[in-house]
Amino acid sequence: MSSSPTTPGLIITLLVKRKPNLTFNETYLHETHIPLVEKHWGPHGLINRTAARVLDETSEYAYSITMTWDSEEAWMKAAQDEEGMRSVREDVGGVTDGEVILIIGKVL
């Protein structure tokens, strides 16, 4: 079975580490950052994205963001888009001051 818009080929998970006085601006995430991500990465094959607040306050992570992509190749094209990558990375500071862990996985 090949990847298609209904069957993602790659999942990227971003985990924001919990710390005392963590800043995470959910309004900015939804109103500014996500539209920026969709503008730059949508044309490259970003299918969907989901953000969640981790309910277990003993977890080392406070937030998770999951992005689904058409394929590994789609993500690689997005990663090679210097302007898009720079814009998205520079904007992360408007969302959080926490450490962000990136996990990239091929869908099984």
**Tens digits of residue pLDDT in 32-58:** 999 999 999 999 999 999 999 999 999
Task: Return the residue matching tokens 């998205």.
Answer: 88
pLDDT at residue 3 is higher than 70:
no
Q: Is residue 3 in some structural domain?
A: no
What is the total count of domains within the chain?
1
The mean pLDDT value for 13-38 works out to 97
Q: Is residue 53 in some structural domain?
A: yes
Q: Are 8 and 67 in contact (CB under 8 A)?
A: no
The mean pLDDT value for 25-29 works out to 98
Residue 87: CATH number of its domain: 3.30.70.100
Q: Are 1 and 48 in contact (CB under 8 A)?
A: no
> Which domain does 65 fall in, by range?
10-106
Contacts of 33 (CB under 8 A, 6+ apart): 88, 91, 92, 94, 95
The mean pLDDT value for 82-91 works out to 96
Q: Are 65 and 50 in contact (CB under 8 A)?
A: yes
Average pLDDT over the chain reads 93
Confidence of residue 6 (pLDDT cuts 50, 70, 90): low
The mean pLDDT value for 8-22 works out to 96
Q: Are 69 and 9 in contact (CB under 8 A)?
A: yes
Q: Is residue 24 in some structural domain?
A: yes
Q: Is residue 4 in some structural domain?
A: no
The SS3 of residue 85 is helix
The mean pLDDT value for 89-99 works out to 97
